[in-house]
Amino acid sequence: MYGGISLYDADGYDSLKGDSMSSAFVFDGLKMHLKARGMTYADLARALRISEATVKRIFASKNCTLARLDAMCEVVQVEMAELARGQPRQSRLVHQLTREQEEELMSDPALLLVAACALHGLSLRDIVSVYRLDEPRCVKLLLRLEKMGILELHEKNRIRLRLSPTFSWIAGGPIMGWVRSQAADYFDHPFAAAGEAMRLLSVRVSEDGQAALLRRIEQLAREYEEQHAADLRLPLEQRKLVSVLLAVRRWEPAAFRKQRRDVRG
């Protein structure tokens, strides 16, 4: 038994039995964490590469294999043991760092690197295998990030993010300032390889039309995030680092602005 839940079904496979009160509690807890992350059954289905109907059936019957439950916990970023604590508090999820916290990240290149790796879903083993950091120093940096509230470091150094679905860096803050400083390096590239693209569209649309387009851009960003979550269980060598830059603003090239009739000399 696991917390009052049978680990084996009649055929001997690891499973959670739907007729157990503890089983119902586990699935109710998972549903709460799913909601706290701003995810739907459809999002979870895409991440697990199964149908939405299968996800709905799992939650309706409160019955699935332990392997499937573990996979769902991985996507939702929650430990099985944490499901027993019930309703996740939204206050535990970070929506935005303070300026001081962003400045702390920027003050230590190694800390910023480990934070980025954690956001990319790298494990401790992945980080030390790719970058020139030994395990003790990496653990120390992860503990600093835990103190900042960005993540939690669990048993066997498993990393769990504490970022809400609406997390964003401060507009015009230290992190975004650093990102803008990297623009030359980012754009010094042909964007011609498979899986790469760069398009600049300059259009004139109504305010309502622009609002509708922005919603679609947000959906595109969400789809990239969902694909990131879906691929987290793949080995690191199969997950290539991709940077997606989405930016929309009212802008006219300076060379054009200088020629406008309303420009004062």
Residue with tokens 């990319």: 120
pLDDT above 70 covers a percentage of the chain that reads: 86
Query: How many CA atoms, within 13 angstroms, populate the side-chain half-sphere of residue 132?
Result: 1
Identify which has the larger pLDDT, 10 or 106.
106
| DSSP structure class, residue 5 | B
List the structure tokens of 214: 């922005």
29 or 138, higher pLDDT = 138
Is a pLDDT exceeding 90 seen at residue 222? no
| CA terminus-to-terminus distance, the chain | 81
What domains can you pick out in the chain, each with its CATH number? 21-88 (1.10.260.40), 99-161 (1.10.10), 182-265 (no CATH)
Q: Which of 37, 17, 40 is nearest to 27 (CA)?
A: 17
> CA 6, 9, 12, 13 torsion: positive or negative?
negative
DSSP string, 83-107: HTT-SPPGGGSBS---HHHHHHHHH
What pLDDT is recorded for position 22? 53
Q: Which residues is 236 bridged to in the sheet? A: none
